[in-house]
Structure 1
């Protein structure tokens, strides 16, 4: 397993578990235009992250999981924007964290895409 796949699997696994342990944190950043309840979106995205964490660890699913992970990260990007929108006015620390989070999504998306591309048989 490549470092990209291992790292992404760990990130998705931790994030997925946190969605179930601390759902209110994630509920608060679900954009209002999402057509399901915030809690439903939190649980569905948490389950998806756990599934991706598992699939990224298995050689026979790693390639498709890499591409799906890249698409997933793009799909949840609006939640990161919503977090920034909410956190910037709250405190300097939250502003820095939420603003820095946005560009950090780019290497995660690229890494996921590389996992997909690298593992195509």
Structure 2
């Protein structure tokens, strides 16, 4: 059980840190917002950054962890199009970037499964 708490806290920390990065390095994240989305990329960047920070906070506390898992699942699904668009715009890049994207896509599925598991068992 202690290992699971470490993993949940690890996910909380990673989400919170990534959320902060949306505000520290906004251009990095805004560059991968699919242009088909209505409105400015900055809106989606800041909204997803806030969502990541809030989800990280929800995962940290036992009382809100189930909701945090559900929020993480929705978040991972919501940002997946940006990850796919990122892979698309870097499709002609060298192998290190291609390898990153080859690993990143299935990792998104694993993250969603993990978030669902937290939501299901912590509710």
What TM-score, normalized by structure 2, do the two folds share? 0.91
Question: What is the distance in 1 between the residues matched to 2:6 and 2:111?
Answer: 12
Structure 2: 5+ residue runs without aligned partners? none
Cα distance, 1:18 vs structure 2:
1.0
Question: What is the distance in 1 between the residues matched to 2:59 and 2:90?
Answer: 31
RCO (CA 8 Å, sep 6+): is it higher in 1 or 2?
1
| Equivalent residues, number | 120
What TM-score, normalized by structure 1, do the two folds share? 0.92
Cα distance, 1:7 vs structure 2:
2.3
**C-alpha offsets along residues 6-34 of structure 1, whole Å, 9 cap, x if unaligned?**
12212211210111111111001101121
Question: What is the distance in 2 between the residues matched to 1:87 and 1:14?
Answer: 24
Structure 1: 5+ residue runs without aligned partners? none
Question: What is the distance in 2 between the residues matched to 1:96 and 1:87?
Answer: 11
Question: What is the distance in 2 between the residues matched to 1:67 and 1:114?
Answer: 9
Question: What is the distance in 2 between the residues matched to 1:40 and 1:72?
Answer: 15
Q: Which residue of 1 aligns with 2:104?
A: 101
